[in-house]
Chains A and B, each alone.
Chain A
Amino acid sequence: MNHRAMNYLRHFLAVLLIAVGLAAPASAQLRVRVDEGNFKPTPIAIPDFQVTGTNSELARQIVEVVRSDLASTGLFDLQNPASFIQKDQTINAEPRFADWKIIRTEGLVVGAFEDLPDGKVAVSFRLWDIYGGELMRINGEPGRRLTTTPENWRRIAHKIADSIYTRLTGEDPYFDTRIVYIAETGPKTDRVKRLAIMDSDGANQQYLTSGRSTVLTPRFSPSAQEITYMSFEGGKPRVYLFNIETGRQELLGNFPGMTFAPRFSRDGQSVLLSQAQRGNTDIYIMNLRTRESSRLTDHPAIDTSPSMSPDGKSVVFNSDRGGSPQLYIMNTDGSQRACPSGGRDVACRITFGKGRYSTPVWSPRGDLIAFTKQEGGKFYIGVIGTDGKGERLLTEAYLDEGPDWSPNGRVIVYFREGRPGAPPQLYSVDLSGRNERRLVTQTDASDPAWSPLLQ
């Protein structure tokens, strides 16, 4: 090849590179869309971690949990390790991108596991964008290294999965969380209901109460240290606080009537609840420090299931003041608000569809309200905008009830009786409604509530 031809080729290659660059400006970094209309899970590969030391079994279990967490989102297609071409991948070396492109991997997680001299374990990982041909930095660092005692291995795994999920989707994490629920046993006419807790993926199931008293509707405090719930302890339905660390149960308030439907305010300083007295149910808020309570609704209709907005200014609740159970929003300070349907009122109705709406729960992101809808012999879990617009039903069954949000507001957990007489079981669904999954529990289960991200 002569000099002129070489120059020509160089020039051609330069133009080609620019053209390629222009053709794919956005593909510079791998990004997984969580709300894409025409959806296809993104292929990612997580080879077994390199192991330094003797604990290769623990290393393998950690990788399994990371894979399982990411697969559970429905956003990722976890590729079969048997199909991997490059087998000698190490954490510090650049992967052979071509090898991973052959099997169409878009994201590659490479990890290393070490036994430390002090008995702890350390896990390091890096995330590669195969088609972008580059390392994806996490919080400005090339990768992350997490150290813990071996008993805490599941939390390490969830934190790794959270990092990868957040880096690829731009959404806040939610795997390193727990779910509290009601474990049910015995015949329907003599049901035993116990408070139970588990990791977000169903591991580490524990019972927190004996089952001597029926307990219902547990909800986490924003610190994830306390649970508020209703118990029939002493024969009367009343709201209690439960400390997870100490196991101590404490009656909340000194209400003359029965109290139920508790839920923490977003700042954790108060609990919203319902009191029923002389045939009328209204909503109250109790300050947990002063133990003073004040009344938020005063109406002859049933007002229950309050849930506060993330900014604390509004409360969505369930009321049958319009003739059937529907969702309403009020200002926490009791002032009048401009209703989306026109006019001003102390409580604005936001559901006008056919059917009965109940159990509203304000999304941690503030934009949506999840609810249970009942219509035509079916139950649905759905979401609606705070302005009453954009209602979407995500699930449908004989009974679907009691939604609660993952802390990042992308996933909803609820319980289902799939057909008449079927036992209640826990399910989750993402906001697209595509990814519905059962959360397996040791017993029948109901009333799930999601914790905030653990510290």
Chain B
Amino acid sequence: MQTILKVTAAAVLLATGACASKPKPVEDTTPVEEVVTPPAEEVVVIKEDPVVESSIAAGSLEDFRVNVGERVYFDLDQYRLDSDDQAILQRQAAWLASYPNVRVLIAGNCDERGTREYNLALGERRANAVKEYLVSLGVSASRIDTVSYGKERPVVAGSDDQSWALNRNGWTQIVSGATS
């Protein structure tokens, strides 16, 4: 899980360009050697390596996680989707168009630096922002449920800027309809 997320985050960074307007969080809670950002070429190799590609079935949960990207990350106290987030959601919408039986649950998550009830409301705003954007791209609203976990479901346990950035996310989770 950890490794997959890492690759996803790296792929997302690559896909959206190195000159992003805001620093995007990278999953790197693992030991020192892992923290070093791999050279761009290496990631390209992973993406283009036919062996790696072939191990992921098209239309599978893995395919969505690795090749599309399941999370968008929000700025502090914000629920606005910037161009990086929109790029990920455009890929999600295209993927969902290809697999029309897939249903998703979008979870809105917040970092721990807010109070519980306000964060439940903010998480709902975030989940809804993601849903509305997908709907605007043609995904049927009936295929999308939303939930807010507030600050109850952090992706990583750390208490630092990097961890908080990772924990402020909209997470598109496939509920059913993916190929196995």
Contacts and interface: CB of A to CB of B under 8 A. Distances in A.
Interface of A: 187-189, 191, 193, 214, 216-217, 230, 232, 235-237, 257-258, 260-261, 274, 276, 278-281, 302, 304-305, 318, 320, 324-325, 356, 358-359, 372, 374, 398-399, 401-402, 420-421, 447
B160 A420 contact: yes
Contact of A447 (B79, B116, B158, B159): B116
A214 B120 CA distance: 13
A356 to B, nearest CB: 8
Residue of B124, B153, B156 most packed against chain A (CB within 10 A): B124
Contacts of A187: 157
A378 to B, nearest CB: 10
Contacts of A276: 120-121, 124-125, 148
A258 B116 contact: no
12 contacts: A189-B156, A217-B117, A258-B148, A261-B120, A279-B125, A279-B129, A304-B117, A318-B117, A358-B115, A374-B113, A401-B115, A447-B116
A279 B160 CA distance: 28
Contacts of A325: 115, 118
A402 B115 contact: yes
Q: Which 10 A-B pairs have the closest CB atoms?
A: A279-B128, A420-B159, A281-B121, A276-B124, A188-B157, A261-B117, A358-B115, A302-B121, A421-B159, A305-B117
Given A236-B147, A237-B148, A279 B132 contact: yes
Contacts of A191: 152
Main secondary structure of the interface of A (DSSP, over half): strand
Nearest to B120: A260
A189 B117 contact: no
A359 B120 CA distance: 12
B118 A358 contact: yes
B84 interface: no
Contacts of B118: 302, 304-305, 318, 320, 325, 358-359
Contacts of A279: 79, 124-125, 128-129, 132
B70 interface: no
Interface of B: 77, 79, 112-118, 120-122, 124-125, 128-129, 132, 147-149, 152-160
Residue of A191, A276, A401 most packed against chain B (CB within 10 A): A276
B125 A188 contact: no
Contacts of A189: 153-157
B144 to A, nearest CB: 12
A134 to B, nearest CB: 50
A399 B132 CA distance: 33
B149 to A, nearest CB: 8
Contacts of A399: 112-113
Contacts of B132: 279
Contacts of B112: 399
A190 to B, nearest CB: 9
A447 B116 CA distance: 9
A401 B116 contact: yes
Contact of A214 (B77, B117, B128, B152): B152
Contacts of B160: 420
A279 B128 CA distance: 5
Given A261-B120, A276-B120, 12 more contacts: A214-B152, A216-B116, A217-B117, A274-B117, A279-B79, A279-B132, A302-B122, A305-B117, A305-B118, A358-B115, A420-B159, A421-B159
Contacts of A235: 147
A54 B10 CA distance: 74
A217 B148 contact: no
A122 B154 CA distance: 53
Nearest to B157: A188
A150 to B, nearest CB: 40
Contacts of B120: 230, 237, 258, 260-261, 274, 276, 304
A416 to B, nearest CB: 13
B53 to A, nearest CB: 30
A372 B117 CA distance: 11
Contacts of A401: 115-116
A189 B129 CA distance: 24
A356 B76 CA distance: 13
A405 to B, nearest CB: 17
B76 to A, nearest CB: 11
Contact of B117 (A260, A324, A420): A260
